[in-house]
Chains A and B, each alone.
Chain A
Amino acid sequence: MTVDDGAADRPTACPRCRSTTVGVQATSPVPGVWTLFSCSTCLYTWRSTEPAENTDPDHYPEAFRLTPDQLATLPVAPTIPPLRAGDAPGGS
């Protein structure tokens, strides 16, 4: 299996939405085997050792790519109900 050298070669763009908001979520408990990245824009996550179609924007399948326009118009489920009268929001 492929071994990478951790966060040193952090990708510059998200494979799915091509945003540059890429961070490291985890490295393998056995050091040096893989790094797990995530995109804070579309919440895509990927492991450095995955096939290129999951790690490389140019190889990411067309059908699964996302644009900022699509992210802004996603259906909400379930809908958020109205607050009951007298209840103050207490959640996060």
Chain B
Amino acid sequence: MGPYADLRAFLDALDKHKQLLHITDRVALEPDVAAAACALTKLGESSPAIEFTDIGGYANARLVMNVHGSWPNHALALGLEPDASPREQFERFVEGYQRYPGELERVSDAPWQENVVDHDINLYELMPLFRLNRGDGAMFIDKPCVVSRDPDDPDNDDVENVGVYRLQVKGRNRLGIQTVPQHDIAIHLAHAEERGEDLPVAIALGNDPLITLMAATPMLYDQLEYRMAAAVQGHPYQVVRTSTGLDVPRGSEFVLEGRILARHREMEGPFGEFPGYYSGCHEYPVIEIDRVFHRTDPIFDAVYVGRPWTEIDYLQAMTTSAPIFVQLHEAFPEVTAVNALYTHGLVVIVSTGTRYGGFAKAIGMRLLTTSHGLGYATMVIVVDEDVDPFNLAQVMWAMSVKVNPASDVMILPNLSTNLLNPAGQPTGVIHKMIIDATTPVAPDVRGDYGEELDTPQTTDAWRARLATMIKELRG
């Protein structure tokens, strides 16, 4: 399985594993598309992707959603078997992440060069744009890979950036872009604006599943997402350079070339965002599109964002957990796993070995000072290394018996949080909490723990044998 050269190859793989539904009946862009994608999120953790091939008003548009929106789909994107557990997917992601850098391979031609539109661009005609949530101020492109370079360091590939930023379609060739200050593109834009120059961007749509995950990963400023994709897939990542010097995935369905207009801001929003609330309206930067390339009969890929869990929570799951783990593990090798699945890591569970009494609380404080912890993590639960942080039943057991609220709950006042966190007071500032759910060890001799239950001899052998039998039983 994998690596997948493009979205089409991944859709074929999803088909093969019965993880793709084909809707061939005619649908209306509103409200059918978002409603169907939302409904899929309410049908469990194994939901398939969905493809619409008869969209009202278009002769031959193709639209897919929920491509990453379940654990089986996410596992397949990482090159794992579809029944891989979240813990196995975390470990696969971390293993690939730590192989950075992989190889960037530049090639000269791509299927998206088949068709080019460089005058009278009308995005509404070129792709099936639709409103996602009723209060959204417009149609949005919400699963793009936006590519930019640092105008102060334009030949340095390491600081080229590929990121997922929501794009409001404001006109036929005009987009709004959300560039949160913590995002790498905000640095590129600031440098361009200090120079009084537009910032060239390339927007790749309909991409292979791995580069979308990499673009959603908060990696270091001088780490290139393409090289991370290559590291994770264990195979060079192929890109094509545009006329404006930006590298774009060879496999993309659409490529939009344009510019963020220098020193210009314009009304944007609202948009239903990942915390499960609308974002409100802001004055955000604006992109003008100069050229559109696309494959013949291109496939448009979008993500449904609603009250968690929805597809975006899978996009932000391991992509958030792995970088936090790598930073924590560098400081404290006792750390074994990080679960930052909840609302982009506003709640994080970390498992660790304990060096001495009080150690787990230090782990929690270090987590709050990781780059992602600064802007997101608000509640940290620390559990022992033999508790799987991805298994909430185990986590709740640890919380039940290992926490004495008198001394295991720390509240740290007035720390930084994301502007989209609705609990901030004022916005962007919040108290944070660490819950130490590890077993106290000396010299922290609180509680009366005695001997913990373990499993009978030969349980592991029985588990393997029975798992095989159950699989055979169910065909």
Contact indicator per residue, chain B 30-60, by CB within 8 Å of chain A (1) or not (0): 1100000000000000000000000011110
CB pair A78 B179 closer than 8 Å: yes
Given A29-B58, A92-B264, A1-B190 contact (CB < 8 Å): no
For A30, list chain B residues within 8 Å (CB).
Answer: 56-59
CB pair A92 B283 closer than 8 Å: no
CB pair B137 A43 closer than 8 Å: yes
Q: From the candidates A1, A2, A80, A81, name the one contacting B26 in the complex (CB within 8 A).
A: A1
Write the nearest CB–CB distance from A63 to chain B, whole angstroms: 7
CA gap between A53 and B58 in the complex, in Å: 24
Interface: B441 (CB within 8 A):
no
Summarize A's interface: helix, strand, loop or mixed.
Answer: loop
CA gap between A51 and B282 in the complex, in Å: 26
CA gap between A74 and B259 in the complex, in Å: 23
Given A90-B197, A91-B262, A92-B288, A34-B281 contact (CB < 8 Å): no
B interface bracket (residues with beta carbon within 8 Å of A): 35 or more
For B270, list chain A residues within 8 Å (CB).
Answer: 64
Write the nearest CB–CB distance from B121 to chain A, whole angstroms: 11
CB pair A28 B56 closer than 8 Å: yes
CB pair A77 B198 closer than 8 Å: no
CA gap between A72 and B311 in the complex, in Å: 35
Given A25-B124, A45-B138, A77-B284, A90-B195 contact (CB < 8 Å): yes
Given A36-B124, A91-B198, A91-B264, A74-B283 contact (CB < 8 Å): yes
Q: From the candidates A33, A74, A81, A89, name the one contacting B281 in the complex (CB within 8 A).
A: A74
Given A88-B196, A91-B262, A1-B282 contact (CB < 8 Å): no
CB pair A89 B263 closer than 8 Å: yes
Interface: B267 (CB within 8 A):
yes
Given A16-B137, A26-B172, A78-B190, A90-B196 contact (CB < 8 Å): yes
CB pair B171 A25 closer than 8 Å: yes
CA gap between A25 and B288 in the complex, in Å: 15
Residue of B nearest to A3 (CB): B56
Interface: B266 (CB within 8 A):
yes
CA gap between A41 and B288 in the complex, in Å: 18
Interface: B291 (CB within 8 A):
no
Interface: A83 (CB within 8 A):
yes
CA gap between A84 and B30 in the complex, in Å: 46
Q: From the candidates B26, B169, B261, B265, name the one contacting A92 in the complex (CB within 8 A).
A: B261
Given A26-B172, A91-B198, A74-B282 contact (CB < 8 Å): yes
For B30, list chain A residues within 8 Å (CB).
Answer: 47, 49-51, 54
Contact indicator per residue, chain B 122-148, by CB within 8 Å of chain A (1) or not (0): 101100000100110111000000000
Given A45-B170, A91-B264, A28-B58 contact (CB < 8 Å): yes
Interface: B393 (CB within 8 A):
no
CB pair A29 B186 closer than 8 Å: no
Interface: A76 (CB within 8 A):
yes
CA gap between A77 and B124 in the complex, in Å: 26
CB pair A61 B196 closer than 8 Å: no
For A64, list chain B residues within 8 Å (CB).
Answer: 134-135, 137, 270, 278
CB pair B135 A61 closer than 8 Å: yes
Write the nearest CB–CB distance from B294 to chain A, whole angstroms: 14
Interface: A7 (CB within 8 A):
no
Write the nearest CB–CB distance from B135 to chain A, whole angstroms: 4
CB pair B194 A83 closer than 8 Å: yes
Interface: B350 (CB within 8 A):
no
CB pair B28 A49 closer than 8 Å: yes
Given A74-B267, A76-B282, A45-B195 contact (CB < 8 Å): no
CA gap between A53 and B134 in the complex, in Å: 8
CB pair B194 A81 closer than 8 Å: yes
Which positions 1-57 of chain A face chain B at CB distance < 8 Å? 1-2, 16, 25-26, 28-30, 33-34, 36, 38, 42-47, 49-51, 53-54
CB pair A81 B193 closer than 8 Å: yes
CA gap between A49 and B57 in the complex, in Å: 10
Q: From the candidates A33, A51, A61, name the one contacting B57 in the complex (CB within 8 A).
A: A33
CA gap between A64 and B58 in the complex, in Å: 29
Write the nearest CB–CB distance from B226 to chain A, whole angstroms: 25
For A36, list chain B residues within 8 Å (CB).
Answer: 124
- Contact sample, A vs B, 23 pairs, CB 8 Å cutoff: A16-B137, A26-B122, A26-B125, A33-B56, A38-B171, A43-B138, A43-B168, A47-B29, A47-B131, A50-B30, A50-B131, A51-B30, A64-B137, A64-B270, A74-B281, A74-B282, A76-B282, A77-B179, A77-B284, A83-B196, A84-B194, A91-B262, A92-B198
B contact residues vs A (CB 8 Å cutoff): 26, 28-31, 56-59, 122, 124-125, 131, 134-135, 137-139, 168-172, 176, 179-181, 186, 189-190, 192-198, 259, 261-268, 270, 278, 281-285, 288, 419
Known: A44-B137, A64-B137, A84-B195. 15 other contacts (CB 8 A): A2-B28, A16-B137, A30-B57, A45-B138, A50-B131, A74-B267, A74-B283, A76-B265, A77-B181, A80-B193, A83-B194, A87-B194, A89-B196, A91-B264, A92-B198
